[in-house]
Amino acid sequence: MPPPPPPPPNQPAQWPPPGQQAVGQSPKRSINPIVVIGVIAVVIVLAVGGFLGYKQFFKSGPSSPEDQIRSVVQREVQAWNNSDFSYNPELYCKANSSQDQAGQKEGRELRTQAGKMSVSVDSIHLTGDQATVDVTVKFQNAPGKTAPSTMQFVKEDGRWKDCTPPDSSGD
C-alpha cells in the first residue's frame, strides 16, 4: 500500500507516520499555574513594599520625652565624634544659635585635645517643657576619668532640644 499523500502546505499532519513522533506544535499547557504563581508573586511584592513604605512613612521618633532627650544627647555625641561643631537647629535651642562661630573653633580645639567622647545619661528631671539632665562624660584621651555634667533641655517647636548655656567659667 502506498504511503498517504503529504498534507497540504502550512497545515500540520493529523497523525504521524508509524514509528515517528508528531512534528510541530507541542500540546498546549494550561496557563493557570503560571498565572497563579505570578499573582502570588505580585501580591507578596506589594505586601512587603506596602509594609516597608508604611513603616517609613509613619516612622515615629522616640515616644517618651526621656527617649527623645536621650536621642538628642546621642546625636550630639555623634556630632562631636565626627568633629561637626556647627549649630544644628534639630539639636540645639534657638537661644544657643549665636554661639555657633565661637563654639566651632573651641570645639575643634577641645576635640583635638580630648579625643572622642562617650556620654551616659544618669537621670532626667522633667518640669513641663523643661528638663534637667544629669550625664557622665568620658573622653578617649583621659582614660579612667569621668566628668559629671548637667544639661538643660527645652521643648521647642514640639521637639526636645539642648539649651545648656555655654560654659563661662573659663575652665
State the 10-residue block means of pLDDT for the chain, 171 residues long: 64 61 60 69 70 59 86 95 88 82 76 91 96 95 91 95 73 44
Burial (CB count within 10 angstroms: exposed 0-12, middle 13-18, buried 19+), residue 8 = exposed
Of all residues in the chain, the percent with pLDDT exceeding 90 is 41
* CATH class of the domain whose range is 65-162: alpha beta
The reported pTM is: 0.60
